[in-house]
Amino acid sequence: MTPPLVGVSGRRRGAAGAHDGPAALDVLQVEVYFTGYADRLAEAGALPVHLPARADPGEVMSRMDALVLTGGSDVDPALYGQEALPSVRVDRARDDRELALLAAALERDVPVLAICRGMQLLAVHLGGTLVQHLESHPLGRDDTHEVRFAAGSVVHGIYGGSYRVNSLHHQAVAEPGAGLVCVGHAPDGVVEAVELPGRDVVGVQWHPEQLRHADPVFAWLTRVAMVKSSR
């Protein structure tokens, strides 16, 4: 069966440190995301596709079978009507690009996996708000904590009643926004998973692409994307 096409968002940054050429190339820009996103998708049987910043969101999402919104910098608090705290670092151009991709995906009923920042962007897109800074939530690639999932949710079907996840975020969903349901929580109450009932749209606050084992959410996304590609 033909692998489904899964678009992967990223960010633009200066080229310094990201090339092997002369220093004169440092003034250019590159588009990047951590390789784990594409690696885990490929391992699950999907064909990951980089979505460049200049690509038209509607045209892109009319060709994709699914979308992955990746992690990264904080979502601009101005998008949910707040002033930014000193600890917040934003990339508003990226926010605007990915909000347009997300809107196009939702309009076309394209499956979405929103990871970390992506989950927060999903909530903001639907009118929600964020906790701008968490003081004590565990941080670090190798730190793990338990997440418990609501019975009957999509993520409960993917993971069962609980799952141990990594934690690299200092922000979290506060109000989820219109229609978005919080279906996974850490022991301290932080929202760790959301979904849109009746839609193939899931957000997770951890980084499944960085876990040392295969997180089953990529198999889920590949499966629902394959259904879309066969329509």
Residues that are catalytic: 116, 207, 209
How far is Cα 13 from Cα 209, in angstroms, rounded to an integer?
A: 21
Per the CB < 8 A criterion, the answer to whether 120 and 90 are in contact is: no
Burial of 151 (0-12, 13-18, 19+ CB in 10 A): exposed
Say which residues have a Cβ less than 8 Å from residue 226's Cβ, sequence separation at least 6: 1, 3, 4, 45, 65
Going by C-alpha positions, the residue among 110, 97, 115 that lies closest to residue 38 is 115
Per the CB < 8 A criterion, the answer to whether 160 and 174 are in contact is: no
How far is Cα 105 from Cα 99, in angstroms, rounded to an integer?
A: 10
How far is Cα 223 from Cα 106, in angstroms, rounded to an integer?
A: 18
**What is the DSSP code string of 130-143?**
EES--SSS--EEEE
How far is Cα 6 from Cα 160, in angstroms, rounded to an integer?
A: 25
